[in-house]
Amino acid sequence: MFSSFIPRILIAATSCKAGKSLLVLGLVVALRKRGLSVSCCVTGDALHQALIFSRLTRRYTRVLDRRLLSEGDLMASIYQAGLGADIVIIDGHGGLYDGVKSNENLGSDAELAVLTNTPTVLVSELREASNSVAALVRGFTHFKGAPQIAALIANRVAPHAADILLPPPVLGFLNECMDAYALPRFIGGLPESVFTGQLPPSILSQKENFTALPMQFFNDVGNLVENYIDIDALIQIAGAAAPIQLQEPLAD
C-alpha cells in the first residue's frame, strides 16, 4: 500500500448550473496570482471546462468519469494530478448526488468525494437567504452516502441582499442560521454579476465547440472570487484532505 498526501478540494453544488465551474475558474486565477501551482480535475464529461482549466493552470486537466474509471483509476488519476502541484481542485457536475441512475450515488460527486476522501465545498444559488437555507443544507449533509461537507458558498446573491450577507468571513445572518443547527458554515458568497463573456456548455459539439474567452473575463471572475470568498479557508480545507491510498506507487 502506498500513501501520498495531496491537498485537494471538491467544488460541488446543490443543483445543476449553480455556478460552481465559474467559481472554480475564479479560484484558479486567484490561487495562481498567489504563486501556487494549481491542478484541476473535472467530473463527468465537462471537456470544455477541462480545456479552459488546462490553459489557466498550464497543467493537464484530468477527467474523472466514473462510467469509464474504476475506483483504483480514480485514485491514480488524483495522485497524478497532484504531482508537483500545491493544490488540486475538482470541479463537480450537476447536483452533489446526481449520478448515472436516479436511485443510487454511482457516478455522482458525492460518490467521488467518499471514495477519494476529498473534502467538499457545497455551492448553492441563494438569491435571497432565510432560515430555510438551514433545512436545505441539513438535507445535503444528512443524505444517504453524504461526503464530508466542509464549508458552503452562496452564489448569485441578489443585489439588495448582498450588503447583508457579504463580504466574508462574517456572512452574518447565513452563518447564524448554520450555527444554530450545527451545520457547516459559509466561507463566502458571490453577488449576482455580469461578465464580458461566459463559460461554454460542458458538452462538446461542432456547433458550440469554443473555449476562447477574453482575458478580461478571467481577470473579472478572479477578482470577484478574491473579494468575496475566504480563499485562506479553502486552502486550509484542502490541506485537511486524507492521503491518497494506492496499491503501489505510480511512475512520475
At 216-246, the pLDDT tens digits run 889 999 999 999 899 999 999 999 999 998 8
Say whether 72 sits in a helix, a strand or coil.
helix
Contact in structure between 173 and 165 (CB atoms under 8 Å): yes
Candidate from 52-56, 91-95, 154-158 with smallest mean pLDDT: 154-158
What gap in Å lies between CA 113 and CA 5, rounded to an integer? 16
Contact in structure between 67 and 218 (CB atoms under 8 Å): no
What gap in Å lies between CA 234 and CA 241, rounded to an integer? 11
Q: Which residues contact 229 (CB under 8 A, 6 or more apart)?
A: 23, 26, 27, 30, 153, 168, 187, 188, 190
Percent of the residues in the chain that have a pLDDT greater than 70, as a whole number = 87
Average pLDDT, the chain: 86
At 179-218, the pLDDT tens digits run 999 999 999 888 888 877 777 666 655 555 556 778 888 9
Residue 180: phi and psi, rounded to 5, are -65, -25
Q: How many CB atoms lie within 10 A of CB 250?
A: 14
Contact in structure between 108 and 10 (CB atoms under 8 Å): no
Report which secondary-structure segment, H or E, holds 123: strand 120-125
Alpha helices (H) in the chain, listed in sequence order: 20-33, 47-57, 71-82, 109-116, 132-141, 159-165, 172-180, 215-228, 231-239
Give the count of alpha carbons within 13 A of 90, CB side only. 36
What gap in Å lies between CA 193 and CA 220, rounded to an integer? 10
At 120-177, the pLDDT tens digits run 999 998 876 678 889 999 999 999 989 999 999 999 887 666 555 555 544 677 888 8
Place of cell 467530473: 43
Distances in Å between the Cα of 143 and the Cα atoms of 105, 109, 110, 115 are: 11, 13, 10, 16
Report the largest interatomic distance among the alpha carbons of the chain, rounded to a whole angstrom. Answer: 54
The pTM for the full model equals: 0.90
Res 28 pLDDT > 80: yes
Contact in structure between 78 and 59 (CB atoms under 8 Å): no
Q: Which residues contact 68 (CB under 8 A, 6 or more apart)?
A: none
Res 53 pLDDT > 80: yes
From the list 13, 63, 47, 43, the residue with the least C-alpha distance to 107 is: 43
What gap in Å lies between CA 117 and CA 5, rounded to an integer? 11
